[in-house]
Amino acid sequence: MSTPLILLDDVSYAPEGTPVLSGISLEASERRIGIVGRNGSGKTSMARVLAGLVAATSGTVRIAGVDVVKDRKAALRHVGILFQNPDHQIIFPTVEEEISFGLTQLGQTAAHAADNTAQMLARFDRSHWAKAAIHQLSQGQRQLVCLMSILAMQPKVIILDEPFAGLDIPTTLHLTRVLGGLDAHLVHITHDPAHLASYDRVIWIEEGRIHRDGTAADVSHAFVDRMQQLGATDDFADIAG
């Protein structure tokens, strides 16, 4: 029996003793996986645990058989994450420096990284961006820079944490087309199931646990029904005056 691409075994995450994820067990190898949930449900924490950016309090997380916390260098080769806000991801002033950084982290020489960076920019018809100052780019353009930085490292899995937040409709449509054409496996985390309509599998996270797991149509329908029920109630009743 082959090893699943994504394996979470009884994973819990409780930073400073506050439970955020509880008893998550999951095996997945589908090419397009959606994770849906309300704000505060634990889905962003799940993204960070999957990527190895934070260590689970208990349990095991493996991507392509690699423990993403214990073997960070191998994890970089297997999993990348696109943050909701590109400014939380970008650390270099120019586009080519940003893309090259991850490649040098993998052990490529500066010359090899520069060559691969140029190829990535050409792939997206953005060679003229090489020397561009990132702070002068729009949010959608910065998000594309982050995506190119991840793709240059050729991970097996790319985690998308609310990638369309703050983007206008044309930019969202463009990024959707780009993501749809990628060869890598995608784990797309969102509060909007409409973005997951064509996905192979959708997992609904509620209060840090898997509430439902199934097809996009089944899980999205149940999720929307529940959100509509909550929307019909006084959701602000617990706010202290």
Q: How many CA atoms lie within 13 A of 102 on its CB side?
A: 30
32-36/201-206 β-pairing: parallel
DSSP 164: T
Contact 160, 179 (CB under 8 A): yes
For the chain, the first-to-last Cα distance in angstroms comes to: 57
Instruction: Write out the chain's pLDDT in tens, 241 residues.
Output: 578 999 999 999 999 999 999 999 999 999 999 999 998 899 989 999 999 999 999 999 999 999 998 888 888 889 999 988 888 889 999 999 999 999 998 899 999 999 999 999 998 889 999 999 999 999 889 989 999 999 999 999 999 998 888 788 888 888 888 888 888 899 999 999 999 999 999 999 999 999 999 999 999 999 999 989 888 876 655 554 4
Phi, psi angles (nearest 5°) of residue 75: -60, -40
Q: Order of strands across the sheet with 66-67?
A: 21-28, 6-13, 58-63, 66-67
Tell me the C-alpha distance between 169 and 166, whole Å: 10
| Tokens representing residue 78 in the block | 């297997």
224: CB partners within 8 A, 6+ apart: 193
Nearest-CA neighbor of 20 among 31, 29, 11?
11
Nearest-CA neighbor of 48 among 3, 79, 86, 2?
79
List, as one string, the DSSP characters of 54-120: S--SEEEEEETTEETTT-HHHHHHHEEEE-SSGGGT--SSBHHHHHHHHHHHTT--HHHHHHHHHHH
Contact 101, 91 (CB under 8 A): yes
pLDDT on residue 3: 82
pLDDT on residue 240: 47
- The full set of domains in the chain, from first to last, is 30-53+66-231 (3.40.50.300)
